[in-house]
Chain A
Amino acid sequence: MKKRAVLFLLPGLLLIFILLIYPVIRMFIPTFTGGQTIFSNYQSFFSSENNVQIIFRTLFIAVMTTLVTLGLGLPTAYWISRLSGRWRKIISIIVLFPILTNAVVRNFAWIMILGKNGVINNFLMKMHIISSPLTLLYTNLAIIIGAVYLFLPIMITSLVSSYTQLNSEIEEAAEVLGSRPIVVFFKIIIPQISVGIFTGSILVFVGALTAYTTPQLLGGNKNMVLATLLQQQSITLGDWTSASVIAIVLTVIAFITMIALNWVSKVIDRRNSHEIKN
């Protein structure tokens, strides 16, 4: 029976090897060859001030996007989780709606809103709050706004599923013991949903870190991020080794963040660490 079970797994395993593991290895190897030492390609990548700036900009955008979606998502998801069954479904569908539209369409909408003659600038000019249009488009802010819009549904969904698992008697117990609502939220609710915060943050952070369309359309050529740089190196310049280096830098950043966030969530919620100890 066991041998037969392996046979069933074989097609899948083969696909994973051919389409995932082999290409990743093929991407890895060239980044360590061709130079004087095995790290030559990395040294030259990091020695460019422009590249380092792009790394920091990418990190800044990913971190800001995660923080803003978290800040907006925590109260919204709490509210959704407290709705009655039917309303919860309706609101959840509305929240997920942006995901159902095409990324290019979504970003063009933001171009219309943020542009020099966009909705915001027109409004502010008409109200005589500003005399000349603000530069909103093709900035880091524009990328963050677009990314928040893109990833907020993911954050909310992951938080709602955590919130709905809470036992409301635990919050009531804290209230009876003398906690104001704000204390209940930070001392009782947040630690209990740390798994949802962790999952949502990872998904949003990695998503924002590797997003291509949004920074390309809303950031323009001045505000490059690692994903747009990667595209330029590979497709425009045909420098596949440099592109591979960028891909690996992205992967490493994602991994480090995941491990760090996992550690933080365990410090906040000691339940998990205890389970591991036992």
Chain B
Amino acid sequence: MAQIKINNLSHSYQKNKQILKDLSLDIHDGELLSILGPSGCGKTTMLRLISGLLPMQEGSIIVAGGDISKVPVYKRNFGMVFQSYALFPHMTIFQNVAFGLKRKKLSKSEIFEKTLSILKTTGLLDLKDRMPNELSGGQQQRVSLARALAINPDVLLLDEPLSNLDAKLRIEMREEISRLQKKMKMTTIFVTHDQEECFAISDRVAVMNHGKIEQLDTPQNIFRHPKTKFVAAFVGYENFVPKQWAKEHNWRYNDIISGSQLTIRPEKIELGSNENILNGKVLVKNFLGNNYQYIVETELGRMKVDTQQENYEINDDIGLSFSEKSLIELEDGD
């Protein structure tokens, strides 16, 4: 159990390819913090630096008050779950889970008991004598999680652990992660590119872009009040409106936020009401299951609209309306 302080972390792979730029982040004791971002944003690099698998170049990482920057991987006592599960293919499930305990030079009976206990907690007891290649993807990831937790790590690191699983298993597994994390009160860093899975289980979310953290907040705040255009686009705000245009329509803004853009979610826009704000032409109509999505060409560019209404067709002239309250002010990113 530990608090993590990441100070001024920078990292480059080649001379001009900087992956992380002066990144600082505090992770509270027992918290599940997600790092959310597209591929190439530096989130995996950051996790590998924390784990020690990648040697640090600049900055420092303090875990539970101690600087671990120069501590080798095998002495850090971290748990890590990989995207590819990374189970030892030549060992049984029991041996996989016991592997970390054996490295700790515990007595045989202690290893045996601790392994059995974690297998029980993760519901893997029946599979203990199987080999990894005899298990399904979901079971393998469960073993990978059990193996990481068995050594009672100070920090649990999860590197896109759900992305190789199908939709149903993904939900099951993320709930399992959340349950075990809360039960063991383990400080956990969860790296993902999927906003839904990270919102569901995280205490806080750090949205990363180009090696920097764009916003660090609770899932609710990030969803309701994205700070920058990048964060907004990443959590499903599809439409962007210039603030100048809103001012011309006599909408009052306090100008607390200095940015020039406003954003609105597709489901907050209505089609064909009496008080049209924007006129446009339907370009695309898609059936999404719960609703229809229209892409409408307007004077503000293409707007996406999610609605239950299905009586519009391509090339129909159409009026769009939305309320002042649905617009969210954004800061200008870089």
Contact = CB atoms under 8 A, between A and B. Distances in A.
Interface in B198-234: none
A191 interface: yes
A133 B99 CA distance: 54
B78 interface: yes
A175 B73 contact: yes
B100 A175 contact: no
B287 interface: no
A212 B83 CA distance: 52
A178 B77 contact: yes
B61 interface: no
Contacts of B134: 274, 278
Contacts of B92: 270
Contacts of A49: none
Interface string B117-160: 00000000000000101100000000010011001000001000
Interface in B85-126: 86-92, 99-100, 103-104
A167 B86 contact: yes
B207 to A, nearest CB: 25
A147 B203 CA distance: 64
Contact of A176 (B53, B87, B89): B53
Nearest to A178: B103
A155 B239 CA distance: 61
A177 B147 contact: yes
Interface string B147-187: 11001000001000000000000000000000000000000
Contacts of B90: 191-192, 268-271
Contacts of A183: 103
B52, B73, B104 pick with most chain A CB within 10 angstroms: B73
A174 B90 CA distance: 13
B147 A170 contact: no
B100 A172 contact: no
Given A170-B86, A192-B89, A192-B90, A176 B104 contact: no
A278 B51 CA distance: 38
Given A173-B80, A271-B131, A274-B131, A178 B86 contact: no
A86 to B, nearest CB: 16
Interface in B231-272: none
B84 interface: yes
Contacts of A178: 74-75, 77, 100, 103-104, 151
For chain A, which range describes its interface: under 10, 10 to 19, 20 to 34, or 35 or more residues? 20 to 34
Contacts of B76: 176
Interface in A159-185: 167, 169-170, 172-180, 183
B100 A188 contact: no
Interface in A233-278: 268-271, 274-275, 278
A138 B104 CA distance: 52
Contacts of B322: none
B42 interface: no
Contacts of B87: 170, 173
Max chain A Cβ within 10 angstroms of own Cβ: one of B75, B79, B90, B147: B90
A268 B89 CA distance: 12
Contacts of A188: 88
Contact of A177 (B52, B53, B89, B103): B103
Contacts of A174: 88, 99
A44 B147 CA distance: 61
B133 A176 contact: no
Nearest to A183: B103
A271 B133 contact: yes
B146 to A, nearest CB: 12
Contacts of B292: none
A11 B55 CA distance: 62
B103 A176 contact: no
Contact of A169 (B84, B99, B148): B84
A182 to B, nearest CB: 10
Interface in B266-281: none
Interface in A23-55: none
A173 B82 contact: yes
Contacts of A172: 53, 73, 80, 82, 86
A30 B52 CA distance: 68
Closest 7 CB pairs of A and B: A178-B103, A177-B100, A169-B86, A173-B86, A191-B90, A176-B80, A175-B73
Interface of A: 167, 169-170, 172-180, 183, 188, 191-192, 268-271, 274-275, 278
17 contacts: A170-B88, A170-B89, A172-B73, A172-B86, A173-B80, A176-B73, A177-B74, A178-B74, A178-B75, A178-B100, A178-B103, A179-B74, A179-B103, A183-B103, A269-B90, A270-B131, A271-B131
Given A170-B87, A173-B86, A274-B134, 17 more contacts: A169-B82, A172-B80, A173-B87, A173-B144, A173-B147, A175-B73, A176-B80, A176-B148, A177-B99, A177-B103, A178-B103, A179-B103, A191-B90, A270-B90, A270-B131, A271-B89, A275-B133
